[in-house]
Amino acid sequence: MIRVDNLHKSFGDVNAVKGVSFTADDGKITGLLGPNGAGKSTTLRVLYTVLTPDSGTATIDGVDVVTERQAARARIGSLPHGAGLYPHLTARENIAYYAKLYDMPGDTVDAAVQKVIDQLDINDFADRRTKGFSQGQQTKVALARSLVHEPQNVLLDEPSNGLDVMATRSLRERIRELKNAGKCVLFSSHVMQEVAALCDEIVIIAAGQVALHDTIDGIRNATGCEDLEDAFVKAIEMVDPTAEQTA
Amino acid sequence: MKTIITVFMKEVVDNFRDRRTLMSALLMGPLFGPILFAFVINLSLKQSLSNADESLDLPVIGSEHAPNLMSYLESNNIVIVDGPESRSAAIDGVANGEHDVVVLIPDTFGENLANMVPATIEVITDQANTQAERETRRATRALRSYGQELAAMRLTVRGVSPMIMRPLNVDEVDVSTPSGRSAILLGMLSYFFIFALLTGGMNLAIDSTAGERERGSLEPLLCLPVKRDHLIYGKILAACLFMAISLSLSLTCFHFTLKFMPLQELGMTPNFGPSVVLIAFLLLVPFALVGASLMTLVASFTKSFKEAQTWVSVVLLAPTMPILVVSILMVRPSTLLMFVPSLSQHLLLVGLIKNEPLNMLHVAVSVGATLIVGALLTWVCARLYRREGLLG
């Protein structure tokens, strides 16, 4: 379970996140939705402890991400922006490298890597060097890498960026499987349809603040818009009236 | 510790598969030194091995005015050949490199000699042409000694001992051993070795920091439940390994190529046997930690692989500075100088090649100081890796 409470973070003069609070429960897929520059990535980066918040707190399964960084990191599997694989290593070696860094016992690494390779269906290219992999293949390997230690909480930053229809569909299936296994999945996107197709709960973020936090039907009711895209735009305008002009 | 080993192993495997790293570690660093060195040696052989036994062809204008001088020159193994027609033609000929040196004897030469007036002889040469320097020196030396012989004869005729003209007898005693002479040239070697060492780890240092950020693999790596210090230690150690490999290849390469260089003809007997190779390796290898941490540090500040390459190349030049200053000032090794990394390695290596006994205090200070500087730089790198701004 991930809990974020009144998070603030600024870079110089730019207030990227201004008091974001929400909770993402186990066994649910929570979508972090917002336009570019809304503060989604900053919030996620605070959660996987790459950034330190100026104020406010965030906990992973009750573990504070600021005071107990290392323990918090051990509880998450994260897929930051872009895959970031090592091109000279094979897919299997990329995954095994992370498994070892997650401090898995040496004799369990191979089995765990094979298990996640089976789960994500990447046997076909598991022993090829990742140089020249397609975007979809790269994302799958990166996802496998972040799931190899079977984390309770999974953070995905715009995972479907650059994926084709087939790859997106298979990614969605994997995310649903995680949910069915009782994991807490938090993922960010700027595409309403994507979030709607997958999420149980949606947190709409705009201008560094939470505009709405509800189910899809709840968002339709709150904004009075049947069309999801209209609802999205209206929710954003509630906290950031200038959004339409600047967009 | 486990993390450090995991990162170290991954970087080693990764970089052994990277052609760019392999090229610089196993090919460029080790080969650059020997090839350049062989080139310089051959060049200086050509320059300084002026065999006095080889005859010199000397173009002379107006040789008919000084028949005695001509036969004196010929007896000194100088072959007189006909020079250009006129003085201006000779000047042009020397200027455009047609002749290295031309001697001009004016038609008043014989008359002046007879009247005991200093008789002018012109030696036309181009001082900027280093090739001609040797021939010019030989020609002027022969002319001077002819002049001295004439002077001695004139004095003898007047009943004065020619010794009166030589109040001093300056005799230079050269105490340099053959190995010592070679050290001047072989002093260059220490830089080649340090250069080879640094190029060996250069790509790895860049790739594991700026490259990792550019590829987008740094952020997920930092999300892992590991200490960032351990990540950077593993990376620096991997760079050290590549540097050590490059250094040992470079030393071995020199061991073999020196056998094919005609150093004995230059009066040099370089001391570069297998045991010296091993000791040289042990003396130089502590510098790998300084090199690896310094390069990692510099690369951490840059935004991209290209930018990192530019800045890290500057690091390649940094160790030359102390070596250069010391070579120019001809400083003798002292305990104080052993505190300066790269300089201490240079001085120890030069001593080793000169066949001087190793000063164990100097070795201890050099190794200790170098490792401490390296550890400090590594610590600074680890501090930098804790910064938020690292992700850029």
Domains of chain B: 2-38+180-391 (no CATH), 56-163 (3.40.1710.10)
Question: Do A139 and A158 belong to one domain?
Answer: no
E-assigned strands of A67-208? 76-79, 153-157, 184-189, 201-206
Predicted confidence band at A95 (pLDDT cuts at 50, 70, 90)? very high
Q: Which residues make Cβ contacts (< 8 Å) with residue B110, sequence separation at least 6? A: B65, B66, B119
Question: Which residues face A10 on adjacent strands?
Answer: A15
Predicted confidence band at B357 (pLDDT cuts at 50, 70, 90)? confident
Residue B192 has a pLDDT of: 82
Interval B159-216: pLDDT, tens? 888 888 788 888 777 665 555 555 556 667 777 888 888 888 888 888 888 888 888 8
Look at A81-90, B33-42, B121-130, B142-151 and tell me which has the smallest mean pLDDT: B33-42
Distances (CA, A) of B147 to B73, B139, B297, B318: 12, 13, 67, 53
DSSP-assigned states of every residue in B82-124: E--SSHHHHHHHHHTTS-SEEEE--TTHHHHHHTTPPPP-EEE
The CATH number covering residue A42 comes to 3.40.50.300
Whole-number Å distance between alpha carbons of B135 and B140: 9
- Range among B141-145, B287-291, B381-385 rated most confident: B287-291
Say how many CB pairs under 8 Å bridge A and B.
Answer: 79
- pLDDT of B266 strictly over 70: no
Helix (H) or strand (E) holding A140: helix A135-147
Q: Which one has a higher pLDDT value, B132 or B312?
A: B312
Question: Do A9 and A68 belong to one domain?
Answer: yes
The answer to whether the pTM exceeds 0.80 is no
CA distance B193 to chain A (A): 29
Tell me, yes or no, whether A183 lies in a domain.
Answer: yes
Comparing CB atoms, the residue among A50, A97, A103 nearest residue B223 is: A50
- pLDDT of A43 strictly over 50: yes
Q: Within a 10 A sphere around the Cβ of A56, how many other Cβ atoms?
A: 18
Predicted confidence band at A141 (pLDDT cuts at 50, 70, 90)? very high
HSE on the CB side for B259, CA within 13 Å? 6
Comparing CB atoms, the residue among A48, A85, A93 nearest residue B223 is: A48
Question: Do A104 and A132 belong to one domain?
Answer: yes
Average pLDDT over residues A40-59: 89
Residue A216 has a pLDDT of: 84
Q: Within a 10 A sphere around the Cβ of B110, how many other Cβ atoms?
A: 17
Residue B171 near residue B135 (C-beta atoms within 8 A): no
Q: Are strands A201-206 and A209-214 parallel, antiparallel or unpaired?
A: antiparallel
With the C-alpha atoms ordered A146, A46, A180, A133, is the resulting torsion angle positive or negative? negative
- Whether B219 sits inside 8 A of A71 (CB atoms) is no
Tell me, yes or no, whether A203 lies in a domain.
Answer: yes
- Whether A103 sits inside 8 A of B2 (CB atoms) is yes
Tell me, yes or no, whether A81 lies in a domain.
Answer: no
Nearest residue of A to residue B21, measured between CA atoms: A88
Residue B353 near residue B251 (C-beta atoms within 8 A): no
Question: Chain A interface, mutation test: which of B219, B385, B388, most A Cβ atoms within 10 Å?
Answer: B219
Comparing CB atoms, the residue among B17, B223, B388 nearest residue A88 is: B17
- Whether B225 sits inside 8 A of A146 (CB atoms) is no
Tell me, yes or no, whether A238 lies in a domain.
Answer: yes
The encoded tokens of residue B154 equal 């004139």
Q: Looking at chain B, how many residues does it have?
A: 392
Tell me, yes or no, whether A80 lies in a domain.
Answer: no
- pLDDT of B2 strictly over 90: no
- Please report where in the chains the tokens 């003396």 appear, as a residue: B283
- pLDDT of A246 strictly over 50: no
- Whether B216 sits inside 8 A of A84 (CB atoms) is yes
- pLDDT of B332 strictly over 90: no
Whole-number Å distance between alpha carbons of A175 and A20: 24
Whole-number Å distance between alpha carbons of A102 and A122: 21
The encoded tokens of residue A77 equal 């599997």
Helix axes A165-180, A135-147, angle to 10 degrees: 10
- Whether B216 sits inside 8 A of A145 (CB atoms) is no
- Whether A89 sits inside 8 A of B14 (CB atoms) is yes
Which residues 137-156 on chain A approach chain B with CB closer than 8 angstroms? 142, 145-146
The interface predicted TM-score (ipTM) is 0.85
Whole-number Å distance between alpha carbons of B126 and B133: 8
| Mean per-residue pLDDT over chain A, rounded | 87
Instruction: Note down the domain range covering A124.
Output: 86-150
- Whether B220 sits inside 8 A of A70 (CB atoms) is no
| A63 and chain B in contact, CB less than 8 A | no
Tell me, yes or no, whether A102 lies in a domain.
Answer: yes
- Please report where in the chains the tokens 């455009």 appear, as a residue: B96
Question: Do A33 and A127 belong to one domain?
Answer: no
Residue A243 has a pLDDT of: 57
Question: Do A172 and A227 belong to one domain?
Answer: yes
Residue A201 near residue A214 (C-beta atoms within 8 A): yes
- pLDDT of A204 strictly over 80: yes
Adjacency order of strands within the sheet including B78-82: B78-82, B56-61, B101-104, B122-125
Question: Do A167 and A135 belong to one domain?
Answer: no
Residue B55 has a pLDDT of: 77
Helix (H) or strand (E) holding A233: helix A228-239
Question: Do A119 and A12 belong to one domain?
Answer: no
B225: which chain A residues are within 8 Å (Cβ-Cβ)? 70-71, 73-74, 101-103
E-assigned strands of chain B? 56-61, 78-82, 101-104, 122-125
Tell me, yes or no, whether A96 lies in a domain.
Answer: yes
- pLDDT of A110 strictly over 90: yes
Q: Which residues make Cβ contacts (< 8 Å) with residue A246, sequence separation at least 6? A: none
Domain tally for chain A?
A: 2
The encoded tokens of residue B35 equal 């090839």
The encoded tokens of residue B358 equal 């190793």
Predicted confidence band at B45 (pLDDT cuts at 50, 70, 90)? low
Residue A234 has a pLDDT of: 85
Average pLDDT over residues A10-32: 89
Average pLDDT over residues A186-208: 87
- pLDDT of B50 strictly over 70: no
**Domain end marker among A150, A166, A200:** A150
> Burial of A5 by CB count in 10 Å (0-12 exposed, 13-18 middle, 19+ buried)?
middle
Predicted confidence band at B6 (pLDDT cuts at 50, 70, 90)? very high
Residue A140 near residue A63 (C-beta atoms within 8 A): no
| Mean per-residue pLDDT over chain B, rounded | 83
Nearest residue of A to residue B386, measured between CA atoms: A50
Tell me, yes or no, whether A91 lies in a domain.
Answer: yes
**Domain end marker among A135, A150, A165:** A150
Q: What's the distance, CA A161 to chain centroid?
A: 12
Residue A182 has a pLDDT of: 92
Residue B312 near residue B205 (C-beta atoms within 8 A): yes
Residue A247 has a pLDDT of: 42
Residue A220 near residue A226 (C-beta atoms within 8 A): yes
Q: Which of the 8 DSSP states describes residue B335?
A: T
- pLDDT of B52 strictly over 60: no
Residue A185 has a pLDDT of: 93
Whole-number Å distance between alpha carbons of B211 and A235: 40
Q: Which one has a higher pLDDT value, B130 or A159?
A: A159
Residue B84: phi and psi, rounded to 5, are: -60, 165
Average pLDDT over residues A201-222: 87
B221: which chain A residues are within 8 Å (Cβ-Cβ)? 84, 101
Question: Chain A interface, mutation test: which of B10, B15, B224, B230, most A Cβ atoms within 10 Å?
Answer: B224
Question: Do A197 and A241 belong to one domain?
Answer: yes
Residue A17: phi and psi, rounded to 5, are: -130, 125
Q: Which of the 8 DSSP states describes residue B337?
A: G
- pLDDT of B109 strictly over 60: yes
Question: Do A168 and A228 belong to one domain?
Answer: yes
| A185 and chain B in contact, CB less than 8 A | no
- Whether A80 sits inside 8 A of B220 (CB atoms) is yes
3-state secondary structure (DSSP) of residue B345: helix
E-assigned strands of B119-187? 122-125
Average pLDDT over residues A97-115: 91
B10: which chain A residues are within 8 Å (Cβ-Cβ)? 86, 89, 93, 97
B12: which chain A residues are within 8 Å (Cβ-Cβ)? none
**Domain end marker among A133, A150, A167:** A150
Question: Do A66 and A99 belong to one domain?
Answer: no
Question: Do A102 and A183 belong to one domain?
Answer: no
Question: Do A237 and A166 belong to one domain?
Answer: yes
Interval B280-296: pLDDT, tens? 999 999 999 999 999 99
- pLDDT of B306 strictly over 70: yes
- As a whole number of Å, the end-to-end CA separation of chain A is 33
| A97 and chain B in contact, CB less than 8 A | yes
Residue B325 has a pLDDT of: 77
Q: Within a 10 A sphere around the Cβ of A83, how many other Cβ atoms?
A: 25
- Whether B218 sits inside 8 A of A84 (CB atoms) is yes
- Range among A235-239, B160-164, B239-243 rated most confident: B239-243
- Whether B17 sits inside 8 A of A98 (CB atoms) is no
Q: Which of the 8 DSSP states describes residue B331?
A: P
Helix axes A135-147, A91-101, angle to 10 degrees: 30
